[in-house]
Amino acid sequence: MRKRIKEIIPVLIVVALLAPLIIYIVAVYANGFSSSVIMSAGSMEPVVPVGSIIFVKRVDPDDVKVGDIIAFQRSDSRILHRVIDKIVENDSFYFRTKGDANEDPDPWGVRPEQIRGGLLLTIPYYGYLINFAATPVGFALMALVAILLIANAVRKNIKRHKTGCHISNPL
């Protein structure tokens, strides 16, 4: 049993590290366009915790409804908030938004041209790992883990060949 657990743990580590990358690639190809951002503010907690990676997809502003979570540009900031109202004036419209954790709605309106997309996917807390891996210490540690996992797999393969426990060629 312990031997089986020791074999499974490295696989689980690799899957945990690669799964968000695979999800991102699938999101990009499935939607034609997607962007990701690491959440640095808590205005959308608990739905989107700080440190989460969010993926947004392009949306037609005409299709945005009350309750949707949208990413929009405001000055130099990209904000992710929930639509709480759609205001129609003359021949145009804008949205009222609010962060789920905020008590009050945003004091500004969001025009259709400010919208960058709708929330597609959230990977909670994975942004912390990405930020850590971007540091010299984090990169070195991630590389060390990868090298150790590969070295362990090679060692096991060599051990199997020495003991004669290998699959013979069926052809």
Tokens of 53: 């990676």
Domain ranges of the chain: 2-163
- DSSP H helices, the chain, are 2-31, 126-133, 136-163
Residues 162 and 171: their CA atoms lie apart, in Å, by 22
Residues 106 and 96: their CA atoms lie apart, in Å, by 7
Q: Please list the pLDDT of the chain residue by residue as tens digits (171 residues).
A: 777 777 777 777 777 777 766 666 666 666 555 566 677 789 999 999 998 888 888 899 999 999 999 999 998 888 999 999 999 998 899 999 999 999 999 999 999 999 999 998 888 888 888 788 778 998 888 788 878 878 877 887 787 777 665 555 555
Residues 166 and 65: their CA atoms lie apart, in Å, by 59
CA 19 to chain centre: 10
Name the nearest CA neighbour of 47 among 4, 80, 23, 17. 80
Q: What pLDDT, on a 0 to 100 scale, did the predictor assign at position 150?
A: 81
Residues 6+ apart with CB under 8 A from 33: 57, 58
Q: What pLDDT, on a 0 to 100 scale, did the predictor assign at position 15?
A: 74
Name the nearest CA neighbour of 120 among 163, 156, 62, 71. 71
Contacts 24+ apart (CB under 8 A), 13-16: 13/145, 13/149, 14/149
Residues 28 and 109: their CA atoms lie apart, in Å, by 29
Tokens of 26: 């699938």
Architecture of domain 2-163: Ribbon (2.10)
Q: What pLDDT, on a 0 to 100 scale, did the predictor assign at position 9?
A: 77
The model carries a pTM of 0.70
